[in-house]
A and B are shown apart, each in its own frame.
Chain A
Amino acid sequence: GEDVEQSLFLSVREGDSSVINCTYTDSSSTYLYWYKQEPGAGLQLLTYIFSNMDMKQDQRLTVLLNKKDKHLSLRIADTQTGDSAIYFCAESLNDYKLSFGAGTTVTVRA
């Protein structure tokens, strides 16, 4: 995903908050997504935000969207060991193609 960029690694202590950042390039993207990939598995949709929203909260997850800067972030509150995974940011393009970032590997340490 050259159009979607995100940092590759994040290490966080159990119980702390994790923040994963992403920048995208297509200002016409309608939806922006966060997918989670656990070891040996496919990607699974974690949450998404519509482009006319600034924020979306879903239990421990908070998505923030800055459309002006084309910046998306995912905050995980009270990070648990089960949150260790690769997190992908994705944007939907005009023809409903999904463009993914390279993924951020989140490691939760005790």
Chain B
Amino acid sequence: GAVVSQHPSWVICKSGTSVKIECRSLDFQATTMFWYRQFPKQSLMLMATSNEGSKATYEQGVEKDKFLINHASLTLSTLTVTSAHPEDSSFYICSARISLYETQYFGPGTRLLVL
């Protein structure tokens, strides 16, 4: 099956620093990648959708200047949490799909802890 990787798996940072998370589709080209956030014991919340070569579409309530998304190629999307604060601590998960009606395949997630 399709494999999606994320890096890093874990990150601990001080408040005020920026953190970049990478999402890669390893064996397929993803026209669309998605970024989700998940708090403990909750479902996944879609943050934004990115299409290769175009600006990301953010869900309501998600600050685009705080969560910078770049989808530079068909196999790589990055999420940068700028000036992270403790309330940004969460589990960030990306997913990718080949085309519009294809299944979304998820990465293993990145756990961010902001001290």
The answer to whether A and B come from one shared complex is no
Chain A residues close to B by CB (< 8 Å):
none
Please give the residue numbers on chain B whose beta carbons come within 8 Å of chain A beta carbons, in ascending order: none
